[in-house]
Structure 1
Amino acid sequence: MHSSFKPSLVQTVLVILVLAFAFLGTRALWDPDEGRYTNVALNMLESGDWVHPMRNEHVGHWTKPPLAYWTIAASVATFGYNAWAARIPYGLAFVFCAWMVWFIARRLVPGDENRAALIYATMLLPFGAAQMVTTDFLLAAALSGAMAAWIESRHVDAHRSRRWILLMWLGFALGFLAKGPPALLPLLAVAVCSLCLPRGRASSAFHWSGLLVFVAVASPWFAVVIHDTPGLLDYFLGRELVQRITSDDFGRHGEWYGWLQIYGPTLVIGSLPWTGLLWRWLRSLRASLKNWRHVETRAGDATGLILFLWVLLPLLVFCLSRSRLPLYVLPLFTPLALLAARQMRIEARELPRPALLGVWVIVLLGLRLASAHWPTHKNANDWAEAIRSRVPHKVAEVAFVEDMARYGVHLHLGAPVDKLSIEPLTGKEFDPEYDTDLDTELVADDAAETIYVSKVKYWPKARAAIESRGHRVVIHGEPYQERVIFGVVPETAPARR
């Protein structure tokens, strides 16, 4: 750690690009999350309706705003139906975040831009998350851009400062389109820093023009879908905002100790191999907190205060909320990388020798490649291949009967997916457990080309329900993953050969 290796810009860019895109499409989609997001994006692409996110033709999908679906759909439209195309937006988000770390380091840790960007790119959590189809990396990219613009606004003249503030609000608006209210959490740090630190030449971060940019970008989609969908506003505010914060209805570690159980290991393991630097920064905080009580010393250590509040205030909200998942804290790895680079400078340390850093890069790529061969029932391509190898005709749709829907099959097989209830459906309008019911599915135009999947233990019930409706079943091959794969035809129809 005491060698004199200082990476060049070219070396830094090459490492980041390799970590972003190497083996990116090797692993198939894993359900449920990757399959669900990709499935909604494909429904947008195939239907031509890019405004209303749909799980399928029956049910809307309102749990997240549309930015992730838009980017996946655009990528698949450009590069085709494959896992690589679905993940390109996340590789690009990873590159953008590393660039924003570099960009911010110009102001907060000048001279260490390359080092800061490499620290971010080689941290375990950002690297791993770059291969996951979720909303979190798009949110991290938008918020990194927003905070980079705000920090830049503090270092330029008043005229240019206003432009950077407008860019800041554009970043927050894009983050809001990626994941809604969590995108606003870094504004807590902006607000507190604006009160605690002299602004100098910078424009106010809360000038009306910036707020207008936010509203103009973030609100039109919400306005349209709320207008088109009665009851959606209540669902957004009640279910997706209030209940996620105050209840454990979503089963996401809502216990009082859940914050420690989830975020502790995520921050410690996710920041490897730089965890030691962050631990030593944490130990030095006591002295810094004493200094920040005085205006004069706050101004002299503005960098430390900004990065501290950027991590602390959103993290406090995540801990207080009763919905907790590891990737929620992904946006905090931008300031954490900057803190690690700053701590390295304080300790007069350098990056490990190129050979050691290269070994770590190989380890990371090895983990990504190994994940592609990890045996799991969540592998959507395996399900697609099982269906493709058993079914002799074109598959128009795949219906999972009283079972977890493998929505990732949509990408790998090219056929829409439903979660099917045997009993008639009533009630729940938003985020229902099932997409449709057996009666609706059997009268659909493409019913003869629909393939059904049922757990072996529920197979007698499913078969009896279908036959009681005047249809017969055609089993395709041996069960797969303890599921029967079958088709359904009317009793009067000739048997398929």
Structure 2
Amino acid sequence: MRTGTRTALLIAFFALYYVIPIEFRALWQPDETRYAEISREMLVSGNWIVPHFFDLRYFEKPVAGYWVNNLGQLLFGHSRFGVRAGAIAGTTLSAGLIYWLGRQMFASRQVALTASIIFMTTLLVYGVGTYAVLDPILLLWMVAAMCSYWRAVQASTTQQRAFGYLLLGVASGMGFMTKGFLALVVPVLAILPWAIWQRRLGELLRWGPVAVATAAAISAPWALAIHQQEGQFWHYFFWVEHIQRFAEPNAQHKAPFWYYLPVLLAGSLPWLALLPGALHKAWRQRSQHAGALYLLSWVLLPLLFFSIAKGKLVTYILPCFAPLALLMAHYACGNAVQPVSAFKINGWINLLFGSAAALLMLTGLAPWGLAHHPLYHQGETARVLAGAAAFAGWGVMGWLSLKPGGNRWQLAALCPLLLALLVGFAMPQRVRDAKQPERFVNALHAKLMQSRYLLADNPGIAAAVAWNVKRSDITFYDAKGELEYGLGYADAATRYVRAEHIVDWLSEHRRQGNVSLVLMLDAGDSAPDPHLPPPDAVYRQGRLVWYGYNATP
């Protein structure tokens, strides 16, 4: 294949997965609406040191991830793509670094390119990599750190080695400023055992201080600046966001030790059948191929660490998929006799998965299906068919990959394509009403803009309101959620109203103008709190309810 044709196909591949579908998917609450609004407020205020959420102090994460998200909205405007641009850039640049590392380790352009495509099409990487959270940005710095260390140990001169450790420090420092100490865990866990096995511990101890000093120099200006502006940041961030989240009995998102096994398996689709062979081959080559052992350490040690930790989230093992992609590509492309049986099994897995999911959509989740409480309502036939078509496309590509032909197995890269293109259209209305409040907010845009006061009982929904109407002056009613710390400051006392005080609060504030109250009902609730005063106007969309209170003399 000619270079120009290959380049055109890669551009089309990237556009179909990472550009075209993005504007057709509404922002999800609470994550995407949160990060959209934090960056919007940072751009409006000009304060790029202290993160704020609804103008309240928000100390859950450091600042560098918000900087990247800021650039997305600066370059692409107040749009869904602008909000997600940081995550997409992080994923794409990570794929570029995987390509570079594949060329360095295996001296094969085919392995390197295959690894990048596998990486960008695995279910977990694509799902998180086009979702506006900080994890894809953190992933970029972790992959950059691991590539930098590999460059350092392969250096032939002192100058090249020093530069590699310098890059390691830059990547580690930026990772720390994106998500804190977690950014240092994966490189340390992966590098240290490998250095001991390769008898490079002495070299690591001699040169490691260069990386540590560089990371400190990168982080210090912002770290000192935020300490000067907000002296409580580091205490809260270190103790609550690290110690309590991961280790204490009351850790957030508690899950059993085996939690990441199904995540790893499902997240590896549509390349699942390559996973066992890739890991086995790396283990067999651990003594002969330093790169294979390096990648294996990068997968297994962080995976073990996060499995032991009490607090678990799907996104924590995202960095493990970079070395997995390289190992799978090396397994698939690096054999004199290709693993034909693995390719066939992979094709069958994709065929069966796509067919079963499409069948489930049509017979179980559809309003005419067998389920007692189907996911889709009457009148959503087009959405059901879009979802079924998306999974049917997955199955068809799995079937085509089984056809005779040397490189047919690579068609697995197209299995998720229709899902990526159609998922925004296939989303059930009940999911949109609970998790994608954009349509609800748009329907009330004029009412919200005309209100003197905005109240909400859910930060995720409130963030959707704030980002869409470009107002951060929202007061919170009855529940604090993730804003509890910021609302605890004395200067935020007026930003929260208890349920027992709402009648008096409304009586006082309606004298100054209209009041809008946005509520999210609990699943199964048919009406908001009956103790609320009767509103002058009501609008409801699924679990989302708006109460409008007109100004009174």
Distance 1:447 1:75 in 2: 37
For residue 416 of structure 1, what is the aligned residue in structure 2? 472
Do 1:189 and 1:306's aligned partners in 2 also have CA atoms closer than 8 Å? yes
How far 1:20 sits from its partner (Å)?
2.4
Distance 1:200 1:482 in 2: 57
Q: Any idea what the Cα deviations from partners look like across 1:469-493, whole Å, max 9, x if unmatched?
A: xxxx532x4333355423445531x
SS in 1 for 2:59: coil
For residue 518 of structure 2, what is the aligned residue in structure 1? 453
1:474 aligns with 2:474: no
Distance 2:84 2:47 in 1: 22
1:190 aligns with 2:191: yes
Q: 312, 318, 339: which one pairs with 1:330? A: 318
Q: Any idea what the Cα deviations from partners look like across 1:72-116, whole Å, max 9, x if unmatched?
A: 222212322111110111111121111111000012122121122
**What one-letter code is carried by the residue in structure 2 that aligns with 1:407?**
A
Distance 1:395 1:485 in 2: 12
**What one-letter code is carried by the residue in structure 2 that aligns with 1:21?**
V
Q: Any idea what the Cα deviations from partners look like across 1:270-303, whole Å, max 9, x if unmatched?
A: 1112222211233456655xxx5xxxxx3x3211
Bigger relative contact order, structure 1 or 2 (CA pairs below 8 A, ≥6 apart): 1
Distance 2:221 2:511 in 1: 36
Q: How does 1:87-166 map to 2 (within 5 A)?
A: 87-111=84-108, 112-158=111-157, 159-166=159-166
For residue 310 of structure 1, what is the aligned residue in structure 2? 298
For residue 352 of structure 2, what is the aligned residue in structure 1? none
SS in 2 for 1:461: coil
Do 2:118 and 2:413's aligned partners in 1 also have CA atoms closer than 8 Å? no
Q: Any idea what the Cα deviations from partners look like across 1:226-256, whole Å, max 9, x if unmatched?
A: 33224332212221111111135354134xx
How far 1:170 sits from its partner (Å)?
0.8
How far 1:365 sits from its partner (Å)?
4.2
For residue 223 of structure 2, what is the aligned residue in structure 1? 222
Distance 1:355 1:371 in 2: 29
Q: 415, 420, 425: which one pairs with 1:367? A: 420
1:319 aligns with 2:279: no
SS in 2 for 1:420: strand
**What one-letter code is carried by the residue in structure 1 that aligns with 2:323?**
P
Distance 1:213 1:97 in 2: 21
Do 1:235 and 1:430's aligned partners in 2 also have CA atoms closer than 8 Å? no
Q: Which runs of 5+ in 1 are unaligned?
A: 1-6, 293-297, 465-472, 493-497
1:491 aligns with 2:552: yes
Do 1:90 and 1:138's aligned partners in 2 also have CA atoms closer than 8 Å? yes
Distance 2:7 2:309 in 1: 40
Q: 68, 71, 86: which one pairs with 1:74? A: 71
Distance 1:275 1:321 in 2: 25
Q: CA RMSD of the aligned region, Å?
A: 3.5
Q: 12, 29, 32: which one pairs with 1:31? A: 29
Question: Which deviates more, 392-401 or 79-88?
Answer: 392-401
**What one-letter code is carried by the residue in structure 2 that aligns with 1:108?**
M
For residue 349 of structure 1, what is the aligned residue in structure 2? 338
| Larger fraction in helix | 2
Question: Which deviates more, 442-451 or 237-246?
Answer: 442-451
For residue 3 of structure 1, what is the aligned residue in structure 2? none
Q: 37, 40, 48: which one pairs with 2:38? A: 40
Q: CA 1:360/1:194 → structure 2, altered by over 3 Å: closer, same or farther?
A: closer
Q: How many residues align?
A: 461
SS in 2 for 1:485: strand
Distance 2:531 2:65 in 1: 38
For residue 169 of structure 1, what is the aligned residue in structure 2? 169
Q: 270, 274, 281: which one pairs with 1:273? A: 270
SS in 2 for 1:479: strand
Q: CA 1:286/1:191 → structure 2, altered by over 3 Å: closer, same or farther?
A: closer
For normalisation by structure 2, the TM-score amounts to 0.74
Distance 1:71 1:230 in 2: 24
Q: Any idea what the Cα deviations from partners look like across 1:419-471, whole Å, max 9, x if unmatched?
A: 6135999x96457699922389867899636522235734432328xxxxxxx
Q: Which runs of 5+ in 2 are unaligned?
A: 344-400
Q: CA 1:163/1:395 → structure 2, altered by over 3 Å: closer, same or farther?
A: farther
Distance 2:46 2:304 in 1: 41
